[in-house]
Structure 1
């Protein structure tokens, strides 16, 4: 199996593009690591009917450089066509906050093998990277993520929408609107923290409506609140 680890452009002008729309499928959209569990399994399935794929995975703290306190087994392996294998994620034991969730990012790089028939062709190979949120959830947190989302507080400071999260969990928005205007850059608010997002000039009114994304990747019911002015 030959793997090309970078985009390779040969001297000629003709290329064959492989999109591999049926490549490696990741079994979740987010990972919840409960401190009560020994490890978390993330299933990967190779949907390709012919080619194996190379799988490389790691976890970072959010800057895409610093590795997180987790061990992945196996970190690098070959996944044969039409096969499934679990990545097993284990906490390394490094101290983390015990009164709130911590957020990390799971990275999965998938690289298709080159078919024998392509040996003499000019080929552009693509490397795919999937990035998932991993929430470390310690014992003894209060309420639950949906209650935290429902209890968010909203105020306006000049052109900024200020969101306060008093809860122990991260709130990740499915959508957020001020009046009828979407606040598109509003993504996430950390526990016991505030976040600020720019209000579009077209936004008016004081009613805020929002949904968050649950542990299962689906949206919550819609919540609403009246905006306060700072």
Structure 2
């Protein structure tokens, strides 16, 4: 990708200051017109939803080798308020349009996590606290916490059965696990994009 962001995911902490995503144009010759927006579904077009966020600027021409910070603020009047008792998974889209036109555009989607104030526990505790149970050749992955957990990989006795996947708060995902009985290990991604391992006997 010619146009890149300064992070692999965005965590918007409601108890902190507004968040900024810095986008760089790695092309040494041509500018890019960059449009950014938030969506509840990966692949959704811009302007189709009323989400309670404002992104400034919404678009900007970035010259070769230059970069631009896009500031994200939570504005409840801008759209439907998000739940206050759990994290919400959205997506931050970066659409980079070269001089040749929209047909040659590059699109990047980043996970965007809205984290309300006052949630019980921590993201790390949530990731380590996933619950796995095997049943009829399947493996249920349950998340009893109020945080979204990004799982990079799940293995049973060293054999990969799934991943990557996002397990939303108080929800579960189902994986194929023909040999599901055994030691379950998984790797998860933290707020900073680092990968860590956990194990359930």
Matched position secondary structure for 1:183:
strand
Query: What does 1:70-219 align with in structure 2 at a 5 Å threshold?
Result: 70-93=53-76, 94-114=80-100, 126-199=104-177, 201=178, 203-219=179-195
Matched position secondary structure for 2:139:
strand
Q: Distance in 2 between matches of 1:210 and 1:27?
A: 26
The alignment's TM-score, normalised by the length of structure 1, stands at 0.77
Structure 2 stretches lacking a partner, 5+ long = none
Match of 1:223 in 2: 198
**Moved >6 Å (runs of 4+):** none
Shift of the alpha carbon at 1:37?
Answer: 3.0
Aligned 8 A contact 1:186 1:197 in 2: no
Shift of the alpha carbon at 1:69?
Answer: 2.7
The alignment's TM-score, normalised by the length of structure 2, stands at 0.88
Q: Distance in 2 between matches of 1:102 and 1:177?
A: 27
Structure 1 stretches lacking a partner, 5+ long = 1-20, 115-124
Q: Distance in 1 between matches of 2:164 and 2:138?
A: 11
More strand by share: 2
Report the number of matched residues.
Answer: 193
- 1:25 matched to 2:4? The reply is yes
Q: Distance in 2 between matches of 1:204 and 1:195?
A: 15
Larger radius of gyration: 1
Shift of the alpha carbon at 1:184?
Answer: 2.7
Matched position secondary structure for 1:191:
coil
- For residues 150-176 of structure 1, what are the alpha-carbon distances to aligned partners after superposition, in whole Å with 9 as ceiling and x for unaligned? 111110121221111111111111211
